[in-house]
A and B are shown apart, each in its own frame.
Chain A
């Protein structure tokens, strides 16, 4: 192999990234699951022969992308590379090795050239069903949460392993869809492998290690240089979080910056809980990594090199490193907070690289189950988002998903699918934390269940996701907090995680908070305060109280 010049390196670096894009496009297109298509709840990545991450799909949910490397390593412990043959394909969904719950099935394909493994293509998708109980936080252990697939070969030397397939087929609802989506993963991995082999063929190379080494070395150096810009020190945050049944947990986060290394230690965080919101260590790491990446804002995409300077610790048995068989289905309820707790810790060290707490953390929404009068059933997840936190040089965005990325369902689509009527989807006045830069505004989302011929056949079972009922969305660096979230059914205040049967004529109101503010509200440009008053986004009273407003 000749020496690698910067032009060739750029070409191949890009090629890895564009191959992952192509792989992701193939997967997204061919997948039936709406969570894959609409919510980007999939991930695709390429690893080198030494199991180091080279490129991953940038649009993917962090919770699915982050764990792929760990999953691959575990798969290869059970299936050592030296025993793999061309045409083997591995499958598995262990939450402790991968993305934290059973629905996410990972498929890994070793890519061979001349009898040697030169890379792995890996994809993971949230599948529509995995058996067990349906979407619920009530499972009391992981065994209730559906089928566990050990790290097996789903293909052996190019032959489909029908034994494994039959086990899956017999244990999931909508088996055709699940198997179809698995085939999409096999196909996508295969396409990725073809591209990687053709990259070698183009240069007559035996493998791509030269490029891989160079990518990783340079990326690591860049990440370390960026970390050096952060002042050394130990930065801590303590975040109490109310959970559904009135309990609360505390997340303690200690960030240590030592020259070009970052260590994040969650020691002291609460123990795992009965409710199915526990995070496996791998899952907690993925959202923590997301936070660090957002802070570092590197001009390159994530790979093994950018990850190297980061160490994450969480005590075994804590809610961020739960032990088997803890129930884990709704692990986003806790995992979503990782960005905020990391930002809260290091806000003073890097005030220009963070954003304040988001009202859209955790994700709010409702699952509606029921029947229409025309006989059709419905079971959509409707997501409604609060505001993004204030940024160092600008206000937060109103009603924006963070850190997951799930948009809303249009009112007209929702009303077509479900016999309900949306009374309002409106910006919530005074819902954004004050600050030199204020948070984005939250949302008032009000729904009534229709009556008579427009109503449902029977009741609607509504399962609510909500948060911030006990502890408000925090502002940072002197910025104000947003008001608590609230949920009312027929005018009565409710707990956050309720499941309710709604009758025709019933109505509910979600008050989803805005984002926290950043910086001293006294420093806010008075013209912007006046504009917010004029626009009816803040009341005069709020403006007087928080900003000393003198106009109007």
Chain B
């Protein structure tokens, strides 16, 4: 018997999913995260999950917030940076743009490497990668010695145009190894061989900053798992939605900076695929934020423009840029803990401030006095005070009503229920507004998509949110509380690489491009587990292209066969198709250029089917009836209440209905048709 294990470390809980590779049977587990040594919770959880869990384990796929926490909490290594002469301040100067036009108090994150530890060396390349000034090794030795004497524990090297020719960076790496054996080194030409020195330096510095901590952690985790008897290989979840070996993760810790959301979207999308749905809007709503992500044909939308450790959480441009492939996610401050307040113009605003876990919503009875989304959900009858978290936590309905009455309803002259519906509706409206921009910016139409809702608050809000967004179908997968851990199991093993090679399309040499792609494919394979059958790996090459003179480029997936006799017409056609989808038109009179070559190598999704349930007679009966607000009916109506685990495949009913499970509650009002599919997912059709 062979099994796969997914483990995901979150801020509060570490989640586990153990899947039988043959039968698809799933077992899940949750335990408290152990912040002082997160590998402890992993080992403890595995033991608690099943003493025999490690027997026959093929893969253990792991996701961790270790790297991002190191950056946010500034707990990484004391890092030094070596740059080309004249470029030491690039890391501090950044892109010189304000992310908020009207904020005079605007601020940016302090650079991870302060000025005295940013040292310049004498060397220079031309833009085409040829050498203008030879590497002055004495200047390198001086810089390395100074950094070592200054007590650095990790060194980043980012030289101008090194993405085009790594020779100077590599020699600097050798000199560091000679002068400071064992010193962790991150070369920009290795971490991110892509044009734009600020973003490449920033990414390389984050890598260097997190490297010693990631190394120590992965050692501990491997040791603990070995001690527990696991012979399986440890794979790490990448921010891009793929997985990689722990050796690769050690070398490029920046690549695992944000793995949870990617895995969650993949886990959600997996159930949609099983249901035959290929166009998915994954929607995860937790306590503080809501995240959305498009998943087409089982692969998550990706981007390489990413930031961490924002000064203002939801303002792009206020963070530290990390230009690695990440899932293209939209996140807004809308969650169960989002606080509702009266604005200075006498209306109601919900979020982005959150009551968090402490004190939490008023209904948690832990001292929270401000009304939150969860308080509204309770007052509206969506949540059951006696059955929250499977009855593990009692909610205080009176506290929720008091908070809404005193802080919202009375000052505004509204009834408590009307105010509660206002809070619920406004948070959904906020999400719909953000989602509309997110989806249309990607050239898509929400009406074609199925929303897959998970997270504690996701299924509570999904149906009304979907209606506001124009989505017609909502799917709530089973085990939605551990979607990330499940997503890790289905994630393909993959690696992405990039080469900057700016060239006008008319001047490009297709043979050279093919060679580069072949080289990139080989590099990707070297970063994937050795035992993978090369025949099982598929490559997706793509170009970042633009019209000459444009500031932005688009990623255009291509087929290598397009680099044949019909080049470049084949590439023009691919570009035109993608550009038309995004922008509705093309400019035939303008010249095209290639900026970057990208290649993503991956195995197929690892498990075809799991969570399959045996169809049983659909004779489930409601456990009770509850009065809850129905927006379609325009008031409180009786909702039939079901326990989700009592519903078998084939079960069907019409709204208004409430379906409860331990991790969440699905609310489907009048005008909805609810059905349980063969994999145990709930589908809600909106009419």
Contact = CB atoms under 8 A, between A and B. Distances in A.
B547 interface: yes
B386 interface: no
Contacts of B349: 10
A423 interface: yes
Interface stretch (A18-26, A94-102, A249-257): A18-26
Interface string B73-115: 0000000000001111110111111100111111110000011
Interface string B124-167: 10111000100000000000000000000000000011010000
B251 to A, nearest CB: 24
B606 interface: no
Contacts of A405: 97-98, 101
B98 to A, nearest CB: 5
B585 A180 contact: yes
Interface residues of B, number: 77
Contact of B126 (A353, A421, A443): A421
Interface string A509-552: 00000000000000000000000001111000000000000000
B561 interface: no
Contact of B440 (A10, A26, A383, A425): A26
Interface stretch (B32-40, B266-274, B412-420, B664-672): B412-420
A22 B436 contact: yes
Interface stretch (B195-203, B295-303, B651-659): B195-203
A390 B348 CA distance: 35
A299 to B, nearest CB: 5
A399 B196 contact: no
A410 B583 contact: no
B555 to A, nearest CB: 15
Given A180-B585, A300-B345, A412-B196, A6 B107 contact: no
B587 A416 contact: no
Interface string B259-303: 000000000000000000000000000000000000000000000
Contacts of B425: 7, 11
Contacts of A13: 347
B346 interface: yes
Nearest to A399: B93
Interface in B427-464: 429-430, 433-434, 436-437, 440-441
A418 B550 CA distance: 15
Contacts of B124: 421
Given A176-B587, A218-B345, A536 B87 contact: no
Contact of A6 (B98, B126, B414, B552): B414
Interface in A412-444: 412-413, 415-416, 421-427, 443
Contacts of B87: 411, 424-426
Nearest to B124: A421
Interface string A215-246: 00011011000000000000000000000000
A7 B348 contact: yes
A454 B347 CA distance: 62
B86 A535 contact: no
Interface string B179-211: 000000000000000011111000000000000
B106 A294 contact: no
A136 interface: no
A138 interface: no
A410 B195 contact: yes
A354 interface: yes
Interface residues of A, number: 82
A410 B95 CA distance: 8
A413 B348 contact: no
Nearest to B85: A424
A161 interface: no
A422 to B, nearest CB: 7
Interface stretch (A30-38, A274-282, A322-330, A486-494): A30-38
B233 to A, nearest CB: 38
B334 interface: no
A18 B440 CA distance: 13
A406 B93 contact: no
Contacts of A297: 102, 104
B365 interface: no
Given A25-B440, A38-B551, A59-B101, A7 B96 contact: no
Given A25-B440, A29-B441, A423 B86 contact: yes
A139 interface: no
A350 to B, nearest CB: 11
A252 to B, nearest CB: 23
A150 interface: no
A14 B343 CA distance: 13
Contact of B105 (A391, A406, A408, A450): A391
A62 B101 contact: yes
B25 interface: no
B115 A300 contact: no
A336 to B, nearest CB: 14
A398 interface: yes
B323 to A, nearest CB: 12
B587 A535 contact: no
Contacts of A187: 584
B426 A10 contact: yes
Contacts of A401: 96-98
A410 B426 contact: no
A54 to B, nearest CB: 14
B344 interface: yes
Contact of B160 (A355, A391, A412): A412
Interface in A342-379: 353-355, 360, 374, 376
B120 to A, nearest CB: 9
A479 B347 CA distance: 41
Interface string A256-297: 000000000000000000000000000000000010011001
Given A29-B441, A421-B126, A535 B114 contact: yes
Nearest to A17: B433
Given A30-B584, A407-B95, A411-B197, A427 B345 contact: no
Nearest to A300: B345
B104 A294 contact: yes
A5 interface: yes
A38 B546 CA distance: 14
A406 B507 contact: no
A427 B86 CA distance: 10
Contacts of A49: none
Contact of A58 (B101, B422, B585): B101
A345 to B, nearest CB: 16
B560 to A, nearest CB: 25
Given A25-B437, A37-B552, A176-B589, A427 B92 contact: yes
Given A7-B426, A405-B101, A410-B198, A34 B549 contact: yes
A15 interface: yes
A134 interface: no
A500 interface: no
Q: Which of B114, B127, B196, B583 has the most chain A CB within a 10 Å cutoff?
A: B127
Q: Which of B94, B347, B419 has the most chain A CB within a 10 Å cutoff?
A: B347
A20 to B, nearest CB: 11
Contacts of B48: none
Contacts of B589: 176
Given A10-B347, A415-B127, A424-B87, 17 more contacts: A6-B414, A10-B349, A11-B425, A21-B437, A30-B584, A384-B96, A394-B105, A398-B92, A407-B95, A408-B93, A411-B197, A412-B160, A413-B195, A422-B86, A426-B87, A427-B115, A536-B115
29 contacts: A6-B412, A7-B419, A10-B426, A13-B347, A14-B429, A14-B430, A14-B433, A34-B549, A34-B551, A58-B101, A218-B346, A222-B344, A388-B106, A391-B104, A397-B107, A399-B96, A406-B97, A407-B95, A408-B96, A410-B197, A410-B199, A412-B195, A412-B196, A413-B195, A413-B196, A421-B124, A426-B87, A535-B116, A536-B116
Closest 10 CB pairs between A and B? Answer: A7-B422, A424-B86, A18-B433, A407-B97, A10-B347, A415-B127, A218-B345, A38-B551, A535-B115, A407-B95
